């Protein structure tokens, strides 16, 4: 069964850091693009970052550039999102998702192009 499981969320003060993990089972991350999305109450789901081994693309939303870093551990079949200098505006449920579409440049921020989703992990930043 193909699954993604997020972990690492929690409560952190403004300016602090968290590292989210996205562990894949049933498929290898070498074959897919992994995107991180977030959704705050009353807002639409927002693309945060994406990494793809097949086409070599890495993307970040403007709101997180310079603060968040996406990476992957091939041996653990896990993708990470390191979040530094957190702000209250970063408070949301964070999801990871997988897609096997090619040329992610044109679709990385579109949730409908991702096939598998994790359950989400809550990130709360207090001010």
Taking only the tens place, the pLDDT of each residue in 100-111 is 887 778 889 999
What Å distances lie between residue 38 and 50, 60, 64, 103, CA to CA? Answer: 12, 13, 12, 22
Taking only the tens place, the pLDDT of each residue in 55-80 is 778 999 999 999 999 999 999 999 99
Average pLDDT over residues 90-113: 91
């Amino acid at each position: 069964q193909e699954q993604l499981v997020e972990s690492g969320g929690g409560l952190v003060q403004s300016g602090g850091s968290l590292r989210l993990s996205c562990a894949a089972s049933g498929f290898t991350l070498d074959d897919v693009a992994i995107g991180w999305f977030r959704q705050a109450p009353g807002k639409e789901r927002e693309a945060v970052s994406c990494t793809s081994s097949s086409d070599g693309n890495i993307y970040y939303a403007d709101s997180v550039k310079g603060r968040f870093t996406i990476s992957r551990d091939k041996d653990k079949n896990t993708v990470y999102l390191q979040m530094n200098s957190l702000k209250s505006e970063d408070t949301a449920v964070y999801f990871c998702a997988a897609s096997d579409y090619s040329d992610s440049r044109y679709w990385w921020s579109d949730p409908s192009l991702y096939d598998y989703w994790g359950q989400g992990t809550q990130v709360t930043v207090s001010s």
